[in-house]
Copies of this chain bind each other. A is one copy, B any other.
Amino acid sequence: MPEPKYWHLRTVLVRTIDAEFSTGQILPNERELAARFGVARATLRQALDQLELEGRLVRRRGIGTLIAAPRVGVPVNGREEGWPGSGRSQAWRIVDCVTAPATAQLARVLGVAEGEAVHTVRRLRLVQGIAMATESLHVPAAALPHVAGFAAESDRARGVLRQIERLGIDGESRSVELGVAEAEQAALLERPPGTPVLVVTTQYAAAGKLAAVAVSTYRADTCKLTFGEAGLVEVTPVQAGSPVRSAS
């Protein structure tokens, strides 16, 4: 079997979907689809798994399998888009703020000593009212002397976000990789554990030194991260396959 059944099935489904279905429509249920294609339900599900990973389908328990909307372009441009106080109501919701000694791992990432106090602000990024990303912003407590004055957690969170702006952040570098949402992130994103996410790690520098680190997890099913000069032209999604040679 040079080509697995589930992969062939996926190809057939892609064609069917593109030709006969549109966003929001419901596919026939899995048992029927499996019967129609003459495969076991597990095999059909393997094909649907692929399509879901690609963001073409959404499956809802108790409802059915629907055609997904195109992915939302989410700007990841640093201070302008992602930063807290800077101007207009950015769609961030503060979840948490804890101050705790750095774990070994966190200490290494932040470049501080293990056990040193670190503020961690957790936020949720909402795009059209729905949670698209979580973020944990870590900054050494020593760098923000005025935060200690706030008693309430929400005040402390806002304090951290406000004061970090006055640090004079003058550089940032990012990395993006694939991950899966663990329990906490999954809950915040209202998704089951194991949901694939794009993990964005941002290092913020002030005066040539690492000043803060943010780890964000974006829903990989619905997000397309956008960087750079704020959309030169509308970014239209492109097939992963070679767009010129229409082989197969």
Contacts and interface: CB of A to CB of B under 8 A. Distances in A.
Interface stretch (A26-34, A79-87, A195-203): A195-203
A178 B175 contact: no
Contacts of A98: 244-245
A232 B215 contact: no
Contacts of A223: 177
A240 interface: yes
A138 B243 contact: yes
Contact of A198 (B50, B138, B172, B178): B178
A139 to B, nearest CB: 12
B173 A229 contact: yes
B240 A185 contact: yes
A231 B171 CA distance: 11
A28 to B, nearest CB: 23
A227 B178 contact: no
A109 interface: yes
Contact of A184 (B50, B185, B220, B241): B241
Interface in A96-114: 98, 100, 103, 105-106, 108-109, 111
B136 A243 contact: yes
Interface in A180-228: 180-185, 193-194, 196-199, 201, 203, 205, 210, 213, 215, 217, 220-221, 223-228
Majority DSSP secondary structure for residues of A touching B: mixed
Interface in A29-84: 50, 53-55, 71, 73
A235 interface: yes
B103 A227 contact: no
A132 to B, nearest CB: 13
Contacts of A226: 173-175
14 contacts: A50-B194, A54-B180, A55-B177, A98-B245, A106-B244, A173-B232, A174-B227, A176-B227, A177-B237, A182-B241, A197-B240, A201-B238, A205-B229, A213-B238
